[in-house]
Amino acid sequence: MVTRKLPFWMTVIFLILLMGCATTQPKIPIDELSVEPGTSVTLKGKTYKLIGKPISVGETIPSVELRDANTMAKVDLSSMRGSVLFLSIVPSLDTAVCEAQTHYLGEEGDQLSPEIKRIVISRDTPFAQKRFAKEAKLTDLQYLSDYGDASFGKSTGLLIDDLMLLARSVILVDREGKVRYIQVVPEITHLPDMERAFHKAEELQREA
């Protein structure tokens, strides 16, 4: 599996989070590879099946209702036409890897065009998402919760069987609501290639 080491600034953040309990900086690999929705991922080497209807590049993002953490309003991604959507999908914001992925989107993602909508999706409750956003000072992102019947996970083939969490992934949706990029991280303790996704999102934004 092809991996890259986390940038220096991210290792500093994790060292601070550990509050001096470790003598070495944590290293979270970044995966450049991807598996297909509806196949399987691993968690520390143990294989888990991805269940639901697999989504593919070129398809329209499914019409399902998610819950906005800030407003508690129902949100249907398929109705968000006219903007490029950067969907950062994480198993749970209460874990270090998901936190790192979201910090990357919120901080390094500031380089993206402001017209690109940066959205975090997880099965955490909206209340947990809102608390995380405030504590992490990442309130400029939109947080959508799939906490109910996991309709988003089931409609994309990204629901992890048994764990019933969403697979770590990035999906980019163009202005017409079409899926244009998917990375599903093979080992969910690794990070997705956010920089590659940033570049692709900017390419979509420049399209006429």
Annotation says 21 is catalytic: no
Selecting among 10, 51, 98, 188, the annotated active-site residue is 98
Please identify which residue in the block is written with the tokens 């109910």: 148
| C-alpha–C-alpha distance, residues 113 and 201, integer Å | 9
Q: Per the structure block, which two tokens stand in for 85?
A: 């959507």
The one-letter amino acid code at 128 reads A
Beta carbons of 181 and 196 less than 8 angstroms apart: no
* Closest of 167, 170, 192, 201 to residue 49, by C-alpha: 167
Catalytic residues: 98
